[in-house]
């Protein structure tokens, strides 16, 4: 009877997963897979027990505090009291249920705006909305919200009539506002840390600590978080002595005032330092301490992290039973937390466990889950990280613009002063004109000088604006090129070593065959390692293509324009593209046609750049017809048509295919950098973006697209003669 009850609970749980988030839907598919294996029924029963029981325990443990908070919200005497209770409710769910945290934070912001409490609006934005967005990997949104909060807390006018709770450390409105500045700067440090800018993150954390030390703060929360994160950054940067100093200092701050919510996380950081120093016993002890602290403080996120680190440690020590215990607990907790990163990593650890115990079906199920979530997170992470970098560039440009506006204001004042002086001189010259002819001549000279100065001033302003714009774009291009160059070196190492390792695996496989060691597990491991290395090389090459595209984007064109036969250029690159594809894929076959206007004379262009554009468009066309051929009927004949035409003083170059066309929903995005419709690994998303820049910016022309979904796509280049 007990077993049937748990099985019913399991099926109710899988029904919930079916209608939940995309990540939960992946979990549901995994449960379907396991359910189809009759021999795995015991495994399903045990897994359901592990997943469901902590939910009941957690709910029972937290009911008292949650019930009192809800009662306080219901009986709040006014909007101010309700706003404070909503803040506490959001804080209650901050590390356990992010959806509930945002639900109460949104209500709090509405009330704070209603009663004109901008500093509380900033507090909600920083502590909850920006924090949750960052935890979910949405750095652009998190950065935007944190900067909105920073604008509010930097405005001294918002100190007026601010509500300060009686138990808050700073009752003075000015000090209260500065404390909110410190919290906001801390969140910006977190965002820079997630974005990989370690130097900027440390600057923000140190500024936060300076603010609270200047205020004479005795509150542990601000100082603990700042010193803890600095220690973590130093650990990442392999500055292990500094990492230990700051993490131990964070523990001291927490001990002073009893604010120990993140003690478990600090202990994980210390354990990581000892792990890097190969001090396994010390590392393991600190991981155990972290688990105890996290459970005492009810910090589920840190508890999951500690469980995964312990599982990883036991994996390196080849202690299979301990690995299974901690990996399973980590997976269970990450599912409850509904955190994609933790689910992916813990599922991978559980898969390793089942591999060790020889249960390949369960291992495959978990490994498949981990890979699908990881692929989704990686794709989304690249997009979000790119958006974040773009927003960061925009912020820098805003700062530059503010400086330019200040300089323009000063120039305006100087100009007005100059004009006033010239007017005074003109008035004096007019007075002296009546008395002396010589003075009249001097007045004429002054008028001419005035005109010359005004013209010179206008020219200077125009030149200054052009120089500022040129320097801005050059700096942005140098920054992009610098980043791409820095990424290119480690990518080359990744690709080269993956190829070398492939060769070593092949030699090991041959040696294994020579020794006639008939061990199925060894062969499977060699095969898996070989496949992994191929994936590393494949994605490394893809990343290298992206870097190459970034370098092409940032590269200043140095090509010289020359008179070029457009028809010959198109014909050459059409055949080059076709034979290039045939060389890569012998099964590829397509019909191509040309229609050239012989009246077109030679056009003054940079042939290498225009050839690159034409080659890219033709390659895309061949790819489109080849892709459609896979699903079309036998009567379908893949065809690519390249044509030229002279019209109204311009030359038109058309590349048309009878492929699947471009959906209307994405037509406006195709010229954006990194946007591609090709499968992962087959395109960088930079080809059309680079082509658009070459045509519009380099040659003053136009690049347009006409398409009908399911029938055709036609790209038309319009070049001025």
- Would you say residue 347 lies in a domain? no
Interatomic CA distance for residues 89 and 70, integer angstroms: 8
According to the model, what pLDDT value does residue 252 have? Answer: 85
Tokens 């960088």 appear where?
A: 684
Tally the domains of the chain.
4
SS3 call for 720? strand
According to the model, what pLDDT value does residue 339 have? Answer: 63
The mean predicted confidence, pLDDT, of the chain is 76
According to the model, what pLDDT value does residue 549 have? Answer: 58
Query: Using one digit for the tens of pLDDT, what is the confidence trace for 272-319?
Result: 899 888 898 888 888 898 888 888 888 887 888 888 888 888 888 888
CB atoms within 10 A of CB 321: 11
The answer to whether the beta carbons of residues 177 and 159 sit under 8 Å apart is: yes
Inform me whether the pLDDT recorded for 183 exceeds 50: yes
- Would you say residue 431 lies in a domain? no
- Would you say residue 413 lies in a domain? no
CB within 8 Å of 578: residues ≥ 6 apart: 590, 592, 618, 622
Interatomic CA distance for residues 661 and 38, integer angstroms: 46
Inform me whether the pLDDT recorded for 236 exceeds 70: yes
Tokens 């200054």 appear where?
A: 464
Query: Are 541 and 576 part of one and the same domain?
Result: no
**Count of all residues that appear for the chain in the document:** 721
- Would you say residue 700 lies in a domain? yes
- Give the Å distances, CA to CA, from 202 to 3, 261, 449, 619: 53, 22, 56, 46
- Domain termination residue (choose one: 505, 523, 554): 554
According to the model, what pLDDT value does residue 463 have? Answer: 63
Q: What DSSP string describes 406-437?
A: HHHHHHHHHHHHHHHHHHHHHHHHHHHHTT-H
- pTM equals 0.41
- The residue ranking higher by pLDDT, 396 or 207, is 207
- Would you say residue 250 lies in a domain? no
According to the model, what pLDDT value does residue 32 have? Answer: 47
Lowest model confidence (mean pLDDT) among 145-154, 195-204, 216-225, 583-592: 216-225
Interatomic CA distance for residues 394 and 140, integer angstroms: 12
CB within 8 Å of 709: residues ≥ 6 apart: 660, 661, 662, 663, 664
CATH code, domain with 127 = 1.25.40.10
Q: How confident is the model at residue 642 (pLDDT cuts 50, 70, 90)?
A: very high
How much of the chain is helix, strand and coil, in % rounded to 5? 75, 5, 20
Query: Are 527 and 615 part of one and the same domain?
Result: no
Query: Are 566 and 504 part of one and the same domain?
Result: no
Inform me whether the pLDDT recorded for 477 exceeds 90: no
Q: How confident is the model at residue 154 (pLDDT cuts 50, 70, 90)?
A: very high
DSSP state of 698: I
- The residue ranking higher by pLDDT, 385 or 559, is 559
Query: Are 513 and 615 part of one and the same domain?
Result: no
Interatomic CA distance for residues 368 and 712, integer angstroms: 37
Query: Are 614 and 518 part of one and the same domain?
Result: no
Q: What is the mean pLDDT of residues 448-477?
A: 68
Sign of the CA dihedral with 93 first, then 95, 101, and 105 last: positive
Inform me whether the pLDDT recorded for 62 exceeds 50: no
The answer to whether the beta carbons of residues 291 and 303 sit under 8 Å apart is: yes
Strands 639-647 and 591-595: parallel
Q: Helices (H) and strands (E) in the chain — how many of each?
A: 24, 7
CA-based radius of gyration for the chain: 33
Query: Are 545 and 607 part of one and the same domain?
Result: no
Q: Which two tokens stand for residue 668?
A: 């406006």
DSSP state of 169: S
Q: How confident is the model at residue 9 (pLDDT cuts 50, 70, 90)?
A: very low
CB within 8 Å of 401: residues ≥ 6 apart: none
- Would you say residue 237 lies in a domain? no
Of 86, 147, 94, nearest to 117 (Cα)?
86
Inform me whether the pLDDT recorded for 364 exceeds 80: no
- Domain termination residue (choose one: 189, 217, 245): 217
Query: Are 685 and 572 part of one and the same domain?
Result: yes
Q: What DSSP string describes 596-655?
A: --TT---EEE-HHHHHHHHHHHHHHHHHHHHHHHTTS-TT---EEEEEEEEETTEEEEEE
Sheet harboring 702-708: ordered strands across? 591-595, 639-647, 650-657, 712-720, 702-708
According to the model, what pLDDT value does residue 682 have? Answer: 63
Query: Are 105 and 136 part of one and the same domain?
Result: yes
Of 613, 618, 621, nearest to 552 (Cα)?
613
Query: Using one digit for the tens of pLDDT, what is the confidence trace for 309-340?
Result: 888 888 888 888 888 888 788 788 777 766 66
Query: Are 522 and 603 part of one and the same domain?
Result: no
Query: Are 88 and 28 part of one and the same domain?
Result: no
Query: Using one digit for the tens of pLDDT, what is the confidence trace for 384-426?
Result: 444 444 444 454 445 445 555 656 666 778 778 777 877 877 7
- Would you say residue 619 lies in a domain? yes
Lowest model confidence (mean pLDDT) among 208-212, 394-398, 511-515: 394-398
Q: What is the mean pLDDT of residues 186-206?
A: 87
Q: How confident is the model at residue 94 (pLDDT cuts 50, 70, 90)?
A: confident
For 114, the enclosing helix (H) or strand (E) is: helix 98-114
- Domain termination residue (choose one: 217, 240, 264): 217
Q: Which two tokens stand for residue 370?
A: 């981990």
The answer to whether the beta carbons of residues 608 and 562 sit under 8 Å apart is: no
Query: Are 33 and 95 part of one and the same domain?
Result: no
Interatomic CA distance for residues 285 and 293, integer angstroms: 12
Q: Which two tokens stand for residue 317?
A: 């020590």
Inform me whether the pLDDT recorded for 662 exceeds 60: yes
Identify the domain containing residue 82 by its residue range.
76-217
- Would you say residue 605 lies in a domain? yes
CB within 8 Å of 140: residues ≥ 6 apart: 384, 387, 388, 390, 391
Q: What is the mean pLDDT of residues 366-370?
A: 66
Interatomic CA distance for residues 452 and 465, integer angstroms: 20
According to the model, what pLDDT value does residue 345 have? Answer: 75
Query: Are 1 and 28 part of one and the same domain?
Result: yes
């Amino acid at each position: 009877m007990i077993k049937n009850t748990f099985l019913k609970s399991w099926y109710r749980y899988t029904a919930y997963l079916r209608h939940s988030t995309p990540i939960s839907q992946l979990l549901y598919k995994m449960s379907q897979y396991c359910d189809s294996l009759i021999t795995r029924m015991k495994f399903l029963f045990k897994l359901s027990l592990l997943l469901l029981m902590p939910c009941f325990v957690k709910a029972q443990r937290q009911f008292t505090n949650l019930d009192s908070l809800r009662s306080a919200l219901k009986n709040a005497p006014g909007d101010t009291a309700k706003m404070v209770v909503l803040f506490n409710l959001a804080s209650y769910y901050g590390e356990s249920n992010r959806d509930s945290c945002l639900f109460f934070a949104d209500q709090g912001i509405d009330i704070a705006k209603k009663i004109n409490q901008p500093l509380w609006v900033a507090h909600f934005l920083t502590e909850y909305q920006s924090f949750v967005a960052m935890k979910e990997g949405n750095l652009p949104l998190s950065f935007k919200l944190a900067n909105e909060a920073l604008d509010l807390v930097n405005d001294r006018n918002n100190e007026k009539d601010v509500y300060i709770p009686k138990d808050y450390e700073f009752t003075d409105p000015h000090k209260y506002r500065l404390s909110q500045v410190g919290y906001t700067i801390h969140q910006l440090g977190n965002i820079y840390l997630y974005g990989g800018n370690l130097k900027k993150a440390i600057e923000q954390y140190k500024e936060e600590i300076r603010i609270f030390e200047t205020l004479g703060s005795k509150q542990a929360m601000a100082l603990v978080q700042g010193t803890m994160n600095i220690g973590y950054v130093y650990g990442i940067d392999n500055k292990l002595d500094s990492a230990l100093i700051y993490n131990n200092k964070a523990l001291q701050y927490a001990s002073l005032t009893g604010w120990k919510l993140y003690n478990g996380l600090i202990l994980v950081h210390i354990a990581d330092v000892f792990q890097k120093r190969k001090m396994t016993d010390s590392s393991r002890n600190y991981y155990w301490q972290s688990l105890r602290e996290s459970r005492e403080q009810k910090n589920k996120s840190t508890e999951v992290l500690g469980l995964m680190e312990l599982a990883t440690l036991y994996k390196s020590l080849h202690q299979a039973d301990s690995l299974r215990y901690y990996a399973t607990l980590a997976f269970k907790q990450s599912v409850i937390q509904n955190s994609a990163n933790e689910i992916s990593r813990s599922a991978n650890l559980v898969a390793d466990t089942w591999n060790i115990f020889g249960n390949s079906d369960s291992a495959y199920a978990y490994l498949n889950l981990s890979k699908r979530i990881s692929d989704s997170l990686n794709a989304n992470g690249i997009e979000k990280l790119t958006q974040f970098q773009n927003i960061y560039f925009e912020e820098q440009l805003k700062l530059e613009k503010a400086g330019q506006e200040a300089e323009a204001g000063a120039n305006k004042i100087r100009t007005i002063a100059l004009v006033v002086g010239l007017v005074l001189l003109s008035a004096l010259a007019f007075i002296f004109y009546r008395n002396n002819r010589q003075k009249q001549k001097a007045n004429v000279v002054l008028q001419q000088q005035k005109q010359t100065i005004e013209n010179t001033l206008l020219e200077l302003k125009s030149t200054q604006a052009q120089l500022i714009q040129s320097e801005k774009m050059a700096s942005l291009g140098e920054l992009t090129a610098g980043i791409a160059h820095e990424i290119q070196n480690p990518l080359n190492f990744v690709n080269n070593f993956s190829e070398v390792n492939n060769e070593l695996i092949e030699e090991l496989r041959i040696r294994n065959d020579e020794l006639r060691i008939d061990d199925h597990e060894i062969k499977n491991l060699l095969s898996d390692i070989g496949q992994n290395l191929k994936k590393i090389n494949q994605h490394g090459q893809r990343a290298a293509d992206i870097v190459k595209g970034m370098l092409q984007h940032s590269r200043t064109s140095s090509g010289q324009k020359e008179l070029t036969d457009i028809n010959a250029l198109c014909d050459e690159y059409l055949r080059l593209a076709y034979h290039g594809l045939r060389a890569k894929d012998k099964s590829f076959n397509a019909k191509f046609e040309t229609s050239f206007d012989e009246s077109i004379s030679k056009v003054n262009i940079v042939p290498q750049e225009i050839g690159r554009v034409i080659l890219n468009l033709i390659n895309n066309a061949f790819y489109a017809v080849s892709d459609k051929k896979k699903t079309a009927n036998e009567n379908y004949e893949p065809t690519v048509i390249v044509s030229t035409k002279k019209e109204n003083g311009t030359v038109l170059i058309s590349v048309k295919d009878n492929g699947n066309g471009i959906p209307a929903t994405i037509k406006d995005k195709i010229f954006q950098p990194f946007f591609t419709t090709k499968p992962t690994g087959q395109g960088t998303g930079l080809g059309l973006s680079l082509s658009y820049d070459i045509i519009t910016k380099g040659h003053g022309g136009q690049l347009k697209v006409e398409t009908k979904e399911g029938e055709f796509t036609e790209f038309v280049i319009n070049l001025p003669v």
